[in-house]
Structure 1
Amino acid sequence: MPKAFTEYEKDLIGARLLDQGYKLFSAYGLKKTGVGELAAAAGISKGAFYNFYESKEALFMDVVELAEQRFRQDVLAAIDLPGPSPRARLSAVLKKAFTTFKAIPILQILTSSDYDLLRRRVSPARLQEHLASDRTFIEELVARCRQAGIPIQASAEEIGGLFYALVLTVLHEEDLGPNALGGAVDRLLELVAAFCLGEVQLQGLMGGGEPT
């Protein structure tokens, strides 16, 4: 039977679970990381794990949300950086979002097959809360950009969809062949920035139009 922990021990173990969960999930993914491994890394028994979380997926959601807080803070901080034009400034913000996303492996799990496991094991309410948080962040990003003199014209939904599509493309770059994208990412980010500012239309991009 799992031992009873003091409040101090609970705080320490909870922090260790988040820390070790981040490392293990980032290295092996959700599906290949077991409760036993998480418990051992935190210095507790497998049975004691369930004093803290009902499942590894519940821990995963907490870990992801902490990582997203870091991601969001870094991206929002980039809004106030100087630049020669609104397009250049927005391109820099989008690039910061892109490079930060790539640097936090656990966030990429949400775009992988492991997401199907989450959908089966995590309550719909928790997933909807998470998606709502993503939408709120993009809305905040748009509002902060406008306040900082970057006159975004696109909707939060359009921006989120374009960024997600670009992330998926780059995460699967290896499937396309070595260096398939080359230096295209920066150019794509600039095109997305131009669209967000209303300088080009989406159908213009599809037809080979250039930003003006």
Structure 2
Amino acid sequence: MPKSFTENERAYMKKRLMEEAQICLTQFGMRKTTVDELVKRVNIPKGTFYLLYPSKEMLFFDVFCQLHDELQSQLLRQIHALEGNVTPDAITDLIFGLYKQVDSTFLYSFIANGDLELLIRKLPPEVAMAHAEEDNFSMEQLLSLLPGVHTDGNIQVFSAVLRAIFMTMLHKKEIGEDVFDDAIKVMLRGVVLQLFEGGTL
């Protein structure tokens, strides 16, 4: 019969698994990280892992969501810090700074080596769909903080455009590393200007 754990014990083990999963994602990627490796690092039995997570993919999804939420919360705090000085240039710089920060996390390689695509395919469809809907809601929350922006009901489109611009980071060499940052800023500024000016899609 499996051992029962207190809520604090479960929370601690989940926290440790997420910490080690993030290290493994950075060093090895999702495909090469096994449940055996993770439980060895956290020093728990394999059966305990499956009491906490139904699969390694759900653990990796938790790690991905945690980073996503941290980055988004940081962006919201920075917008609040503008205190009314909300201009297209200020918002462009904020989003660009966020993209550059992502470039230094496991997320860039996670996307570049195809792990994110594989993860989404392996998740239960309702989990992937709920995350997409939550992402759109967060974009709505973000846009509501910006006085003078006009989405004309196209929040999902603007959310997708920002993701598409982010995905160009995977093609830095093809675009040209010496001009890449400037190119990203031009694309971001175009989207932000459209939000402020209420242009048609």
TM-score of the superposed pair, with normalisation by structure 1:
0.79
Equivalent position amino acid for 1:152 in 2: V
Residue 18 of structure 2 is matched in structure 1 by: 18
Q: What is the distance in 1 between the residues matched to 2:188 and 2:16?
A: 37
8 Å contact from structure 1 (residues 36, 45) kept in 2: no
Is 1:101 aligned to residue 102 of structure 2?
yes
Q: What is the distance in 2 between the residues matched to 1:187 and 1:20?
A: 37
Check 1:84–1:168 CA distance in 2 against 1; reply closer, same or farther (3 A cut): same
Residue 150 of structure 2 is matched in structure 1 by: 153
Residue 3 of structure 2 is matched in structure 1 by: 4
Deviation string, structure 1 residues 142-197 (Cα, Å, up to 9, x no partner): 10112xxxx11233223212211211112221344543525322233222221222
Deviation string, structure 1 residues 72-108 (Cα, Å, up to 9, x no partner): 1111112132687621222123223322332332376
8 Å contact from structure 2 (residues 18, 62) kept in 1: yes
Superposed, 1:52-201 pairs within 5 Å as: 52-80=52-80, 81=82, 86-106=87-107, 109=110, 113-146=114-147, 151-154=148-151, 155-176=154-175, 178-179=177-178, 181=180, 183-198=182-197
Deviation string, structure 1 residues 83-134 (Cα, Å, up to 9, x no partner): 8762122212322332233233237635752234224421111111111110
Equivalent position amino acid for 1:139 in 2: E
Moved more, 103-112 or 33-42: 103-112
Check 1:174–1:136 CA distance in 2 against 1; reply closer, same or farther (3 A cut): same
Moved more, 100-109 or 131-140: 100-109
Shift in Å at residue 201 of structure 1? 6.3
Where structure 1 has 5 or more consecutive residues not aligned to the other structure, the ranges are 203-212
Q: Once superposed, what is the RMSD of the aligned Cα atoms?
A: 2.7
SS in 1 for 2:51: coil
Q: What is the distance in 2 between the residues matched to 1:164 and 1:17?
A: 28
Equivalent position amino acid for 2:61 in 1: M
Check 1:119–1:86 CA distance in 2 against 1; reply closer, same or farther (3 A cut): closer
Q: What is the distance in 1 between the residues matched to 2:53 and 2:86?
A: 48
8 Å contact from structure 2 (residues 110, 116) kept in 1: yes
Where structure 2 has 5 or more consecutive residues not aligned to the other structure, the ranges are none
8 Å contact from structure 2 (residues 57, 123) kept in 1: yes
8 Å contact from structure 2 (residues 34, 56) kept in 1: yes
8 Å contact from structure 2 (residues 139, 155) kept in 1: yes
Moved more, 136-145 or 27-36: 27-36
Q: What is the distance in 1 between the residues matched to 2:42 and 2:32?
A: 17
TM-score of the superposed pair, with normalisation by structure 2:
0.82
8 Å contact from structure 1 (residues 173, 179) kept in 2: no
Residue 207 of structure 1 is matched in structure 2 by: none
Shift in Å at residue 67 of structure 1? 1.2
